[in-house]
Amino acid sequence: MTEPNAAAPETAAPDATGLSKRQVRRMKRFDNPWRNPKLIWGVGLLLGIIALGLLGRIFWDTDMVFTGSGLPRQAPVGIENMRGQVGSWAHPLGTDVTGKDILALLIVGAPNSLYVGVLASLIGMSIGIFLGFSAGFIGGRIDDVIRVGSDVMITIPPLLILVVFQAAYGDISLTIMAILIACFVWQSPTRLIRAQVLSMRESGYVQMARLSGASTGHIMFREMLPNLVPYLFGSFIANVTTSIVTAVGLEVLGLGPQRVPTLGRVIYDAINSGALIQNLWWWWGVPTLLLAVMFIGLLLINLGLDEVSNPRLRRL
Amino acid sequence: MARIPASYLTNRMITLVLTVLIAATLIWIIPRLSGLDPASAALGRMAAGGGSVANADQILAQLRETFGLDQPLLVQYLLYIKNTLTLDFGLSTASFPTPVSAMIANALPWTIGLMLISLVVTFIIGNLLGALMVWEHTPRLWKAAIPVAMVFTSVPPILSGLLLMYVFSTQLRWFPLSGPYGLNVEPGWTIDFAGSVLYHGFLPALSIVVVTFGFWALGMRGLMITVQGEDYTTLAKAKGLRPRYILYRYMIRNAILPQITAFALKIGMLVAGQVLVERIFAYPGMGKLLYDAILTQDYPVIQGVSFVIILMTALAVFLVDLIYPFIDPRIRHGG
């Protein structure tokens, strides 16, 4: 994979000012922070995952996620498995131990992981915005409760509580899992927004709005919120990563939704069926690769957003 | 040695106590809400093992009494809190009648050892690399290589564990596939045993280090950029101090402080990640114990392990908070 970060500078010979031609061109261009290469690459990678889910459903038979869709433990195209069978185009990425088609599993599973992450993060974010504004803007007793609450909850690892939950309840749906994860990802946006609101509260334009008799809701959401957008985006993306990591963690432990294909579940099945020892690398390798692409995409988006909100980080 | 302000101390204490209480309560409430009856579950397991159970009603009543289920909910809750705080989690149901606390005591040293090593190594590597990303005297090759290395850091530790395991254990066979020490060494305080433990622990630790150093590096990068623009850095340069001296004594020394707070917040996440790494490497720590307990539906063990890990996290955060005022004097002066 090309790394946009490493490829950016030193393309042309430097001129008298010590800047390369590319950098000079960059300086002359109107500065639109959102046209950030990292951001674009990251969004592109995530769109790739979504495209896999959408196009896959059109061009591939996703009913093959069910047991017995093909012979078990088939290798991908062009690779021979331990029994000397060469993979066929009927199952381009091979099959698992119960004959599920791995390509179909990935087409259904990859968007599911993304869905859990985005949903959990959206809910967590909404809670965070609400609590963060309340704590920072209203202050007093409410601030104390919210601050201590988020301090407490931030030290409890979500995975463990979810394990306890799941051991008691058994099967859960993707949406329930997302809601449960959301209960543990509201703390960092709450803290972030509280800190920002506290420093913003005393700024001129907020004072101005207050003196003009604007309502608390108007000041919070129309005056202050727009200024927080880059931070909110950054926090949102970081939370999507955390949520997906938690969800995949649950799935790899064999918990999480039992009837819906997810990437973590595929890896769980692979480890449990001895895919590592039997050298069936495609079984766990391809879902791992997809997850890695997803996480790298999210990381690039986050780095890009950092540069959007903090001009000091930008390069020429 | 200056004193820590009392308000700061009480604040931290309250957080610690609340964290432990809330975690214990959550662990207690969740299964009760599900309507799962531990007594009939235990009876069901007996029936599954023995084919049938005679005098089921009496046994059920007996089990209810042993589990304390015949008492009012509040009494049950208070008893549970008392037992939990004294680290008494009852008996394991899968490997009956081993006390859960004994199982945890066996697993805990492995987990703590692995965690401490990987935490310290990532903290050092991550912060150094993050500082080097900003420092103007960093060799070019390094400046190009560090962002590339970042790619790994967005991956959860379980995936890096799988990859490292595949490459180094099953393909190259440089490192063992699983287990805490070799089959041919006797556990004890011998050099052979220590070597074997290090050899077996290398890959699990590496898979955590590889994916976590980037978190520190990125944080450090942001902080270093701020420090780089400060007047004292400019002054140090103007005085003609050696660049390396400025890097360590002026820049890193100041930029590292917020990282230590982040250290406390990150511990919880790291522990959760490590649980999964232990599971795939069959490392006999808390993660393995938890995983086995999930497989055998051993509820007391699941509760105990979850609680102990949360307790450890909360204590670690508390300790970092206690040490912090001594590292950053600004806290002591109410800054």
Asked if B162 and A284 come within 8 Å (Cβ–Cβ), the reply is: yes
This model of the complex carries an ipTM of 0.73
Domains and CATH numbers, chain A: 58-313 (1.10.3720.10)
Nearest CB neighbour to A164, from listed B170, B273, B306: B306
Q: Kindly calculate the radius of gyration of chain A based on its CA atoms and give it in whole angstroms.
A: 24
Among the listed residues A281, A292, A196, the one whose alpha carbon sits nearest the alpha carbon of residue A235? A196
Asked if A155 and B147 come within 8 Å (Cβ–Cβ), the reply is: no
In chain B, whose CA is at the least distance from the CA of A245?
B156
Asked if A152 and B150 come within 8 Å (Cβ–Cβ), the reply is: no
Mutation pick from B16, B136, B154 vs chain A, by most beta carbons of A within 10 Å, is B154
pLDDT of A237 higher than 80: yes
Among the listed residues A195, A201, A187, the one whose alpha carbon sits nearest the alpha carbon of residue A146? A187
Asked if B170 and A252 come within 8 Å (Cβ–Cβ), the reply is: no
**Band of the pLDDT at A126, cuts 50, 70, 90?**
very high
Angstrom distance (rounded) from CA B11 to CA A308: 36
In chain B, whose CA is at the least distance from the CA of A299?
B154
In chain A, whose CA is at the least distance from the CA of B165?
A276
pLDDT of A161 higher than 60: yes
On whether any CB of chain A is under 8 Å from the CB of B166, the answer is yes
Provide, as residue numbers in chain B, all residues whose Cβ is less than 8 Å from the Cβ of A161.
23, 26-27, 30, 306
Asked if B267 and A277 come within 8 Å (Cβ–Cβ), the reply is: no
pLDDT of A124 higher than 50: yes
pLDDT of B272 higher than 60: yes
Angstrom distance (rounded) from CA B133 to CA B146: 7
Provide, as residue numbers in chain B, all residues whose Cβ is less than 8 Å from the Cβ of A167.
31, 293-294, 297, 299, 302
In chain A, whose CA is at the least distance from the CA of B14?
A148
Mean pLDDT over the full length of chain B: 79
- The stretch A203-207 carries a mean pLDDT of 84
Q: How far is A141 from chain B (nearest CA, A)?
A: 14
User: What pLDDT digit, counting tens, does each position of B65-92 carry?
Assistant: 776 777 788 888 888 888 888 888 887 7
Angstrom distance (rounded) from CA A288 to CA B152: 12
Angstrom distance (rounded) from CA A184 to CA A176: 13
User: What pLDDT digit, counting tens, does each position of B131-177 carry?
Assistant: 888 888 878 777 777 767 666 666 677 778 878 888 887 777 777 77
Asked if B303 and A164 come within 8 Å (Cβ–Cβ), the reply is: yes
On whether any CB of chain A is under 8 Å from the CB of B276, the answer is yes
Rounded to the nearest 10 degrees, the angle between the axes of helix A140-155 and helix B253-281 is 50
Q: Determine which of A12-26, B261-275, B313-327 has the lowest per-residue pLDDT on average.
A: A12-26
On whether any CB of chain A is under 8 Å from the CB of B27, the answer is yes
Asked if B268 and A241 come within 8 Å (Cβ–Cβ), the reply is: no
**Band of the pLDDT at B331, cuts 50, 70, 90?**
low
Sequential DSSP letters for B83-147: HHHTT---B-STTTT-BHHHHHHHHHHHHHHHHHHHHHHHHHHHHHHHHHHH-TTS-HHHHHHHH
Asked if B309 and A306 come within 8 Å (Cβ–Cβ), the reply is: no
Asked if A291 and B155 come within 8 Å (Cβ–Cβ), the reply is: yes
CB atoms within 10 A of CB A171: 12
Angstrom distance (rounded) from CA A67 to CA B6: 63
Nearest CB neighbour to B148, from listed A3, A241, A303: A3
In chain B, whose CA is at the least distance from the CA of A153?
B19
pLDDT of A122 higher than 90: yes
pLDDT of B333 higher than 60: no
A189, A128 Cβ separation under 8 angstroms: yes
Provide, as residue numbers in chain A, all residues whose Cβ is less than 8 Å from the Cβ of B155.
291-292, 295-296
Provide, as residue numbers in chain B, all residues whose Cβ is less than 8 Å from the Cβ of A285.
166
pLDDT of B31 higher than 50: yes
Nearest CB neighbour to A165, from listed B30, B151, B159: B30
Percent of chain B with pLDDT over 70: 84
On whether any CB of chain A is under 8 Å from the CB of B233, the answer is no
- The stretch A150-154 carries a mean pLDDT of 82
- Burial group, residue B144, by CB count within 10 angstroms (0-12, 13-18, 19+): middle
- The stretch A60-86 carries a mean pLDDT of 71
Asked if A164 and B31 come within 8 Å (Cβ–Cβ), the reply is: yes
Asked if A3 and B151 come within 8 Å (Cβ–Cβ), the reply is: yes
- The stretch A45-67 carries a mean pLDDT of 83
Query: Tokens 């450090």 — which residue?
Result: B220
Task: Please give the interface size between A and B, counted as residue pairs whose CB atoms are below 8 Å apart.
Answer: 155
Asked if B276 and A252 come within 8 Å (Cβ–Cβ), the reply is: yes
Asked if B18 and A168 come within 8 Å (Cβ–Cβ), the reply is: no
Angstrom distance (rounded) from CA A6 to CA B277: 31
Asked if A253 and B225 come within 8 Å (Cβ–Cβ), the reply is: no
Amino acid type, A149: G
User: What pLDDT digit, counting tens, does each position of A262-287 carry?
Assistant: 888 888 888 788 777 777 777 888 88
pLDDT of A185 higher than 90: no
Nearest CB neighbour to A156, from listed B23, B297, B299: B23
**Band of the pLDDT at A66, cuts 50, 70, 90?**
confident
Torsion of CA B67, B71, B76, B78, to 10 degrees: -140
Nearest CB neighbour to A245, from listed B156, B302, B303: B156
pLDDT for the residue numbered A29: 63
pLDDT for the residue numbered A26: 65
Provide, as residue numbers in chain A, all residues whose Cβ is less than 8 Å from the Cβ of B314.
155
Asked if B218 and A161 come within 8 Å (Cβ–Cβ), the reply is: no
Asked if B154 and A241 come within 8 Å (Cβ–Cβ), the reply is: yes
pLDDT of B11 higher than 90: no
On whether any CB of chain A is under 8 Å from the CB of B167, the answer is no
On whether any CB of chain A is under 8 Å from the CB of B269, the answer is yes
**Band of the pLDDT at A39, cuts 50, 70, 90?**
confident
Asked if A152 and B34 come within 8 Å (Cβ–Cβ), the reply is: no
Angstrom distance (rounded) from CA A284 to CA A102: 10
Asked if B273 and A245 come within 8 Å (Cβ–Cβ), the reply is: yes
Among the listed residues B226, B277, B232, B293, the one whose alpha carbon sits nearest the alpha carbon of residue B255? B226
pLDDT of A12 higher than 50: no
pLDDT for the residue numbered A4: 46
Angstrom distance (rounded) from CA A274 to CA B106: 27
**Band of the pLDDT at A34, cuts 50, 70, 90?**
confident
Angstrom distance (rounded) from CA B295 to CA B288: 11
pLDDT of A98 higher than 80: no
What pTM does this model have?
0.79
pLDDT for the residue numbered A221: 81
Q: How far is B186 from chain A (nearest CA, A)?
A: 26
